[in-house]
Each structure stands twice: as structure tokens, then as C-alpha cells.
């Protein structure tokens, strides 16, 4: 099948297949504070890193949700890592509750103070990124419905929290954190020791015109 993505999806599909194709997607568990100090936390799967020198991340919001309004008011947000141990709490914070509801309280989550920004992180999460807003970018919409209007929030990471229990031999033990990835429909996946593997970058020949894979263990150097 090959179809025009700018048109309505083919009747073959009961739901839009796009989110089942752009996978896996990391979950940005975004916490923000309003100008009046009201706390909000919500998961976003249109989330990822943009660069590492300096470090920028983004999340995309449909409509005028608190995670957008708050960051426009205060210019700060925190992204906590969503993990298998916190899957139920993460899911609860996605509920479309009233604006004055504190999702931390709703999901039974404790907060932990950030060091460089005001919004707290999820205390039980093994890692968090503290961010300051760089800019927001309103994407062109395909319909007039508010929920179809996406705004991209881009922030610079100014602080990083990592639970010391997951730092081993000078590296982050991601597999033991068991982070959750978003798939399509209502599907998720978990990164585990059994599903992770290592691949070295190719070795380029001396002539610069050939390359080969190195099947050995990683030597700890980026090439």
C-alpha cells in the first residue's frame, strides 16, 4: 500500500498508522509550574533530543495544554524518565483533568526539587533533565480544530539528575532503568537487558571509499 499522507487515511485502517511507524518514541514526562505556582506533569511521546553541544530537547503539544501555557509563562520545564516501575503513574498523569488538578497528587507521585529550574522532577524517576525554554514553534495545522494545532516547545538542558545507583563504570546503566518507549495505538515497549545490544560504528578504509563493520565489543571510543 502507498497512500497520500496529506489526505484522509485509507479505509483499510481503523486508526491512523503513523504513530505505529514512527517507533519507538521516548516519553518526555514534562513537569511545569504556572505563573501562580500551580504544578502540572504530563507525558509526551512527541519528545526527543535535538543536539548534545549544547543539549536541546523538544516536546510537541496539541492544543493549549498546561504544559504549553505554563512554559510560556515561566520559561522552564523538567523532563523525568518514564520507567516500567512508574508505568501506572505515568499513564494517570495523561488524564485530561481540570486545569487546577495537580497530577502529582492525582497519581500519588512525590516531587523532588530541581537544582537549576523551579519545576520539580518526579522523585522516583531515575533521571531527569532540567530545561529552560529557548523558543516555541507553532506548526501549520491541517484543520481548524484546536487539537490539531501542534506547538513545539524547545528547551536547553541546563541541569541533569541521574540516580547514582544507575551510574556504573563511568556510564549510565540504561537497561537497568527499564525506560518505557511509546509505540502506536495503546502500545508501549520497555528497554531491558535482554533487548539492548551494541553495534560499533563502521571502520572507514584508508582510501575513504570503503567501510566495514566491526563486530567486536565497543572499545569505549566514538569514531
Distance CA 12, CA 166 (A): 45
pLDDT score, position 129: 98
Residue with cell 494517570: 92
CATH 3.40.50.720 assigned to domain 25-195? The reply is: no
Task: Give 16's pLDDT tier (boundaries 50, 70, 90).
Answer: confident
| Residue whose C-alpha is closest to residue 19's, from 4, 9, 29 | 9
| CB-based burial, 4-40: b 16+ in 10 Å, e otherwise | eeeeeeeeeeeeebebeeeebbbbbbbbbbbeeeebb
**pLDDT tens string 111-129:** 999 999 999 999 999 999 9
| Residue whose C-alpha is closest to residue 151's, from 49, 83, 62, 72 | 62
Would you say residue 221 has pLDDT above 80? no
**pLDDT tens string 20-72:** 889 999 999 999 999 999 999 999 999 999 999 999 999 999 999 999 999 99
Stated pTM of the model: 0.93
pLDDT score, position 30: 98
Three cell numbers, residue 69? 501555557
Residue with cell 530545561: 131
**pLDDT tens string 147-181:** 779 999 999 999 999 999 999 999 999 999 999 99
Locate the domains of the chain by residue range.
25-195
Compare 59 and 221 and report the one with higher pLDDT.
Answer: 59
Amino acid at each position: 500500500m502507498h497512500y497520500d499522507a496529506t489526505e484522509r487515511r485509507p479505509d483499510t485502517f481503523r486508526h491512523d498508522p503513523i504513530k505505529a511507524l514512527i517507533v519507538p518514541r521516548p516519553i518526555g514526562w514534562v513537569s511545569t509550574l504556572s505563573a501562580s505556582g500551580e504544578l502540572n506533569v504530563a507525558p509526551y511521546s512527541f519528545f526527543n533530543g535535538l543536539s548534545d553541544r549544547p543539549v536541546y530537547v523538544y516536546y510537541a503539544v496539541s492544543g493549549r495544554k498546561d504544559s504549553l501555557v505554563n512554559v510560556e509563562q515561566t520559561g522552564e520545564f523538567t523532563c523525568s524518565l518514564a520507567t516500567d516501575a512508574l508505568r501506572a503513574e505515568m499513564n494517570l498523569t495523561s488524564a485530561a483533568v481540570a486545569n487546577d488538578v495537580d497530577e502529582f497528587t492525582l497519581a500519588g507521585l512525590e516531587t523532588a526539587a530541581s537544582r537549576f529550574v523551579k519545576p520539580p522532577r518526579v522523585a522516583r524517576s531515575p533521571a531527569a533533565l532540567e530545561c529552560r525554554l529557548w523558543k516555541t514553534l507553532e506548526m501549520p495545522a491541517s484543520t481548524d480544530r484546536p487539537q490539531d494545532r501542534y506547538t513545539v516547545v524547545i528547551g536547553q538542558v541546563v541541569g541533569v539528575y541521574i540516580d547514582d545507583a544507575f551510574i556504573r563504570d563511568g556510564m549510565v546503566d540504561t537497561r537497568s532503568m527499564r525506560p518505557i518507549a511509546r509505540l502506536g495505538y495503546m502500545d508501549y515497549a520497555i528497554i531491558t537487558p535482554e533487548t539492548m545490544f551494541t553495534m560499533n560504528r563502521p571502520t572507514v578504509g584508508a582510501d575513504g571509499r570503503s567501510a566495514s563493520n566491526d563486530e567486536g565489543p565497543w572499545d569505549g571510543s566514538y569514531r
